Amino acid sequence: MNYPNGKRKTQQKTRTPQKNKPDFSNRGMTLEEDISATNQFYLEAGIAVVHKKPTPVQIVQVDYPKRSAAVIKEAYFKQASTTDFNGVYQGKYIDFEAKETKNKTSFPLSNIHQHQIDHMKAIIEHGGIAFLIVKFTPHDEVYVLPAHCVFEYWDGQFKGGRKSIPYQVVHEEGILVPFHFQARVDYAKALDKLYF
């Protein structure tokens, strides 16, 4: 296990080394799974109540080979999903999207959709807190990025601006979230710095 510095121990491949590149093949969970595990810890510890939103699906065709073994054969998404997670922290409604990128130098705005931006803007207009949790997999870094920073680049792209948020901006405007054993993506501490 080895977690004295709060970071996961990565295993080295025994095959031929490739120019000192880190091995990301056995890194475990995805960002969403890590956040869900963190949310479970928050719930059990009485820190926050946050859940992953289910994706609304319309079931069209079901096969019933046996009464106890129904099989969905055809289904469609009912509507565009909003964001990944929502809940309550410190008495405030929070709503956020989790995104991973393999890009080293920027977070592409193509990873977000207009309906998600509209949803986050509505949350803020009603007094809630909206943000992104962004993971840069090449750096093995996770950031909490306030929605207002995302809006600035999102709106700017339609006025001739760039179509991504530079890594340096995420690093400066966001809060780096270190990996922990129990709260794997301990975003609550980042929210404390940004909003409380």
Q: pLDDT by residue (tens digit) across 143-186?
A: 999 999 999 999 999 999 999 999 999 999 999 999 888 899 99
What residues are designated binding site? 82, 84, 97, 116
Identify whether 1 is part of a domain: no
Identify whether 22 is part of a domain: no
Identify whether 86 is part of a domain: yes
What residues are designated binding site for Mg(2+)? 82, 84, 97, 116
Q: pLDDT by residue (tens digit) across 175-194?
A: 999 988 889 999 999 999 99
Question: What does pTM read for this prediction?
Answer: 0.77
Identify whether 128 is part of a domain: yes
| CATH number for position 147 | 3.40.1350.10
Residue-range definition of the domain harbouring residue 159:
32-53+81-195
Measured from the Cβ of residue 146, the count of other Cβ atoms closer than 10 Å reads: 19
Tokens at residue 98, please? 């989790």
Measured from the Cβ of residue 152, the count of other Cβ atoms closer than 10 Å reads: 13
In angstroms, the CA 149 to CA 173 distance is 7
Q: Which residues contact 117 (CB under 8 A, 6 or more apart)?
A: 150, 151, 154
